[in-house]
Structure 1
């Protein structure tokens, strides 16, 4: 894994709009006596208040330490325990105090509800299209509307087969070949745009990372003098 990939993960690990934070969707907050425990589930769940609570907590703990965490992972390649101690005790004070006991009148959180497979796939597809030309138009439809569209899912193949039967075989082949070529060009253009965007983003992230390292060194030198 490259330095850029580590930086990107550290920046997005607490942002539910990003793929790097999908781990949050598998966590259930469970009451155990007067404490709360985080229990990992086998599948992603529907994001309600507990999910957003974990996201907010993650953001508060990580704060502006994402570049420090990324640098530590890249240079030290620590195990999970070492990384936890570094973030939780060295960079922040998140683990230096014990959490207070749960209030007796606390309202229990909602039960963990696994997310339907189609809904999870739709969310990933929409998220992967962010930043692509024309992709913002997809926001005009909700997940439910997109999933309920007539041609979404398995029914589309059946409709296409019925339409093809109405054309002479040779004409159908010509049309399919033409459509295939157009699709190939579209895919090439989309891939080119995405690759260019990723390259620019990678360079920008590296520059930002190096500037932050220089600034920290500059501040440290000033404090010593």
Structure 2
């Protein structure tokens, strides 16, 4: 429970900070762009990888919810997210290295996730082109037919999308080589997984304004709690790191404290308004239920 509380504190702190820190104060990371010219040479291989991922992730989901049966909706959700790097279902893309071998490109799966540069974005784009509007169809096929991997590959890549009907063209000799595969530090991978899990939460998109180093300094997520003393030490360290970060921002922006206080006050007032609104809605709903039951009882009498 203590660890969960600390993680919750971390998430709230990151959300609050990311909402108020000016963009000019935060480090910006160059945006990687897909190499569209490479897609025709890897598209079939990507399709085969996607089919394999759909099969494996559906099997994993089934094992998690057993003895319940996986629903078609759950399979559709996997199919919708398998090509979106913002979603956990697309983590497989981070392990793919595009390697030039003579006159063709090969997709080599690495043991660990790599830093997502242009090759990573190229695989994502190829995956999206393969799936297109086929996510619902392939999900229905998996749900109804329960195919093995080979059958699923044939259905998705040859029958449904025609991606592997023809061989890719030979690779141009003057192709500019891609960047080397660079393994991602474990703590960075954990932080990015956390940020992806927070996607869609209020204020989450603003977290991109923070540099990776600043987020990593807030909390060490990779360490387990052994006892209460270590819990207290970690909480003190977290508070220290958070305080240090705030002091750095304050030194660069004189009115930081005022913005922080105003932001907290506004957030508190907003939460209170939402809470009161929800409470009133629940009360009206319950009164309606009671009134309907009272009328039904009178009618029976």
| Band the TM-score falls in, shorter-chain normalisation | 0.5 to 0.7
RMSD: 2.1
Partner of 1:158: 233
Note the C-alpha offset of 1:30. 0.9
Cα contact 2:95–2:110 (8 A) shared by 1? yes
Partner of 1:73: 142
CA offset digits 1:186-216 (Å, max 9, x no partner)? xxxxxxxxxxxxxxxxxxxxxxxxxxxxxxx
Higher relative contact order (CA 8 A, sep 6+): 2
Cα contact 2:87–2:197 (8 A) shared by 1? no
Which TM-score applies when normalising by structure 2? 0.50
Residue 114 (structure 1) aligned with residue 183 (structure 2): yes
Structure 2 CA distance for aligned equivalents of residues 161 and 134 of structure 1:
26
Partner of 1:40: 109
Which TM-score applies when normalising by structure 1? 0.65
DSSP-derived class of the 2:106 partner: strand
Partner of 2:274: none
Residue 138 (structure 1) aligned with residue 207 (structure 2): yes
DSSP-derived class of the 1:31 partner: strand
Which one of 53, 73, 76 corresponds to residue 4 of structure 1? 73
Structure 1 CA distance for aligned equivalents of residues 189 and 119 of structure 2:
18
**Structure 1 ranges of 4+ moved more than 4 A:** 154-157, 159-162
**Structure 2 portions without partners, runs of 5+:** 1-61, 63-69, 224-229, 238-301
Would you say how many aligned residue pairs link Structure 1 and Structure 2?
Answer: 160
Which one of 38, 50, 54 corresponds to residue 119 of structure 2? 50
Partner of 1:103: 172
DSSP-derived class of the 2:107 partner: strand
DSSP-derived class of the 2:98 partner: strand
**Structure 1 portions without partners, runs of 5+:** 163-225
Note the C-alpha offset of 1:137. 5.0
Structure 2 CA distance for aligned equivalents of residues 146 and 22 of structure 1:
21
Structure 1 CA distance for aligned equivalents of residues 181 and 208 of structure 2:
27
Which one of 1, 4, 27 corresponds to residue 96 of structure 2? 27
Distance 1:126 1:156, change over 3 A: farther
Partner of 2:197: 128
